[in-house]
Amino acid sequence: MRVLITGAGGGLGQALLEWLPKQGVEAVGVSHSQLEITDSAAVSHLIGENAPQLVVHCAALTNVDRCAQAPHEALHINGFGTQNVALACQKQGAALCYVSTNEVFDGEGGAPYGEYDPLRPANPYGYSKYVGEQIVREVLPQHFIVRTSWVFAHNGRNFLQRISSLAREGKALSVVTDEVACPTYATDLAEGIAALIATGRYGTYHLTNQGAVSRYAFARAILDAYGMPDYPITPITKAQFNRPSRPPTYSALRNDFAALLGITLRDWQAALAAFIAHEQQKATQA
């Protein structure tokens, strides 16, 4: 199988480029600098030229605060850009795997969300990804929609890396206690997506590392794992955290359908330990 990955410069894109070839898949990646997904002609040309059998669409505007400040930009990239990719896949006869988010849910249910629970986007980022999901469903029957949350990877700058970096710099840390979801290791997510693609069973799936945790408890676990158990973190609420976006309160995802296919990701604590072990190994070899 030949797979094209958009957003290949990001953490998940790079993890897919590393993992898919191990499964005998020919993987080609394109980064933002190589493809502007809002350019419909460029998207159509690139997908036609590469002739993939499936596209994994990772490219997106994922900065939730920027999406809140510029909702039209978020909709342009995450909605219209996804439409361009879906239409190009339709023209090529390729399937599409669209990577979505827990923030298509409002987080007010107080329990983990299943794949087919009602969608109520929590903010402009969530709405833009919700629109992307609807477009994929409308345009292309041969699709996977994979929702995930709190992805951490070995490159880029995500929550895990911000917390550890700020602590090393001796900066004060204040982290919210009332935002709960499932941390997800990009390497595990890539493995799960590869396994899902191999089944050929199109549909909507939730793939996260198992277990839900608050931002505060996750930050505490990060510093404990890095050998900083005494580093102070001040617990605050979302109401005390002044930011443009308001993420959902409880948006843990329940993996029902992938689990029925035998696809589950390990618990988030084990994933965190594996991530840190890999980072420390790289630092030793550098």
* Active-site residue list: 125
Beta carbons within 8 Å of 254's beta carbon, 6+ residues apart: 112, 113, 114, 115, 206
Half-sphere exposure of 42 (CA within 13 A, CB side): 11
Determine how many CB atoms are found less than 10 A away from the CB of residue 13.
Answer: 26
Cβ atoms of residues 19 and 191 within 8 Å: yes
Phi and psi dihedrals of 106, rounded to 5?
Answer: -85, -10
Do residues 186 and 15 touch, judged by C-beta distance below 8 A? yes
Long-range interactions of 17-26: CB distance < 8 A, separation 24+: 18/187, 18/190, 19/187, 19/190, 19/191, 19/194, 20/190, 20/194, 23/194, 23/198, 25/1, 25/194, 25/197, 26/1, 26/2
